């Protein structure tokens, strides 16, 4: 790191430039810095320092006779070194309380609300990754007949999660055979792990014949795919903020970003990655692996939902976002979401 070369005065100037640019979005000149009161030197001195900082790669000029704006390296340095860790403001905390005030809420609703809250407080796009335990111990299986050829298979895990699948039979199944199959499956599968299911063996054990056996086979098939439905989910909120905050970038590019968020696959990878890292992570510009995020900054962290199980959440905003505030809010929400969900999800 070249960070050693930066003396105190340079730090002061750098912080000031970053903060002002975050605030106004305009390049900042030597004059305003000199008159800001933090520093008691003339604009000329500031200019010299700024030129040095530019040479070091921390500042850049949009054109020769404009003020300076921070490079991504500067943001990195700002986040790593200069940031005076801000806890979320009183107002933010108060706003966040609404999430935790409403109890007895549907679990899914918690994630959704967290994503909305996160996006509203930071005015960015927010995403919450809701993990699922990998082993699914079955609590119960339900078969709901709709008519003679359709029924819904429902699996409830011991964690209270629900997988559901509609199946269409190419034969007709009576209520009684459905009942029989249902009872048999509950007897055999309840309390066991659904992923290690030996369908063939189970079918043999059942002693079912004819239509009932066919039915059981179809249902077992559906059970397996219920697992997939029990996949992790992402809750996204505040994507419209991207249009507002990213007005510096081209329309084309904003559209691509929104599209990527909508598709969710990249975002899912990003958030899953975050679960591994398991600490506050700030990725600025090119540091992002996802192409569509290379002009943005990402702030995220993970939160626990059970022993060894973590979810993650984060926001996507402009590289010139208010990192102090964003970090504070992200950590705060993660902390509280974890606290509420832990051993409850």
Partner DNA sequence: ATTAGCACTCGTTATAATGGAGTGCTAAAA
Partner DNA sequence: TTTTAGCACTCCATTATAACGAGTGCTAAT
Q: Which residues bind a second copy (CB under 8 A)?
A: 103-109, 139-140, 142, 144, 146-147, 150-152, 154, 156-160, 162, 164-168, 222, 225, 229, 237-241, 243-244, 247, 251, 254-256, 258-259, 261-262, 343-345
For a second copy, which is the closer residue by CB, 52 or 268?
268
From a second copy, DNA, none, interface partner of 65 (C-beta below 5 to 8 A by class): DNA
For DNA, which is the closer residue by CB, 32 or 243?
32
What is the distance between the alpha carbons of residues 215 and 234, in angstroms, rounded to a whole number? 34
How many C-beta atoms surround the C-beta of residue 64 within 10 A? Answer: 5
For DNA, which is the closer residue by CB, 60 or 140?
60
From DNA, a second copy, none, interface partner of 164 (C-beta below 5 to 8 A by class): a second copy
Shortest CA distance to 22 belongs to which of 332, 290, 319? Answer: 319
Q: Is residue 271 within 8 Å of residue 129, measured between CB atoms?
A: yes
**Single residue of 22, 50, 151, 189 touching DNA by CB under 7 A:** 50
The answer to whether residue 23 forms part of the interface with DNA (CB under 7 A) is: no
Question: Cα angle at 77 between 75 and 81, to 5 degrees?
Answer: 125
The answer to whether residue 45 forms part of the interface with DNA (CB under 7 A) is: yes
Provide the 3-class DSSP secondary structure of residue 325: helix
Report the DSSP pairing between strands 281-284 and 150-157.
Answer: unpaired
The answer to whether residue 24 forms part of the interface with DNA (CB under 7 A) is: no
Question: Cα angle at 254 between 253 and 257, to 5 degrees?
Answer: 90
From a second copy, DNA, none, interface partner of 192 (C-beta below 5 to 8 A by class): none
From DNA, a second copy, none, interface partner of 5 (C-beta below 5 to 8 A by class): none
The alpha carbon of 148 is separated from its chain's Cα centroid by a whole number of angstroms, namely 42
């Amino acid at each position: 790191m070249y960070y050693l070369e930066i003396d105190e005065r340079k730090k002061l100037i750098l912080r000031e430039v970053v903060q002002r640019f975050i605030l106004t979005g305009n390049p900042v000149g030597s004059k305003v810095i000199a008159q800001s009161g933090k520093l008691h030197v003339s604009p000329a001195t500031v200019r010299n320092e700024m030129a040095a900082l530019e040479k070091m790669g921390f500042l850049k000029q949009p054109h020769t006779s404009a003020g300076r704006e921070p490079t991504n390296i500067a943001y990195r340095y700002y986040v790593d070194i200069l940031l005076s860790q801000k806890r979320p403001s009183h107002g933010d905390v108060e706003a966040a309380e609404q999430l935790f005030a409403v109890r007895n809420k549907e679990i899914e609703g918690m994630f959704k609300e967290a994503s909305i809250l996160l996006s509203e407080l930071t005015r960015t796009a927010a995403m919450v990754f809701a993990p699922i335990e990998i082993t699914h111990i079955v609590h119960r299986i339900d078969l709901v007949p709709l008519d003679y050829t359709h029924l819904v298979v429902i699996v409830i895990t011991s964690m209270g999660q629900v997988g559901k699948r509609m199946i269409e039979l190419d034969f007709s199944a009576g209520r009684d055979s459905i009942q029989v199959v249902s009872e048999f499956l509950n007897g055999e599968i309840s309390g066991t792990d659904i992923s290690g299911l030996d369908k063939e063996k189970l079918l043999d054990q059942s002693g079912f014949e004819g239509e009932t056996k066919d039915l059981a086979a179809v249902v077992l098939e559906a059970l397996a795919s219920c697992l997939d439905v029990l996949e992790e989910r992402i809750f996204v909120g505040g994507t419209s903020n991207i249009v507002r905050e990213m007005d510096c970038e081209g329309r084309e590019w904003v559209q691509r970003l929104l599209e990527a968020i909508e598709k969710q696959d990249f975002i899912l990878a990003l958030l899953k990655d975050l679960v591994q890292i398991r600490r506050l992570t700030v990725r600025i510009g090119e540091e992002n692996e996802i192409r569509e995020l290379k002009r943005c900054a990402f702030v995220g962290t993970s939160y626990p939902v059970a022993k060894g199980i973590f979810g993650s959440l984060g926001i996507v905003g402009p590289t010139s976002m208010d990192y102090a505030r964003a970090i504070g809010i992200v950590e705060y929400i993660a902390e509280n979401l974890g606290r509420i969900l832990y051993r409850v999800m």
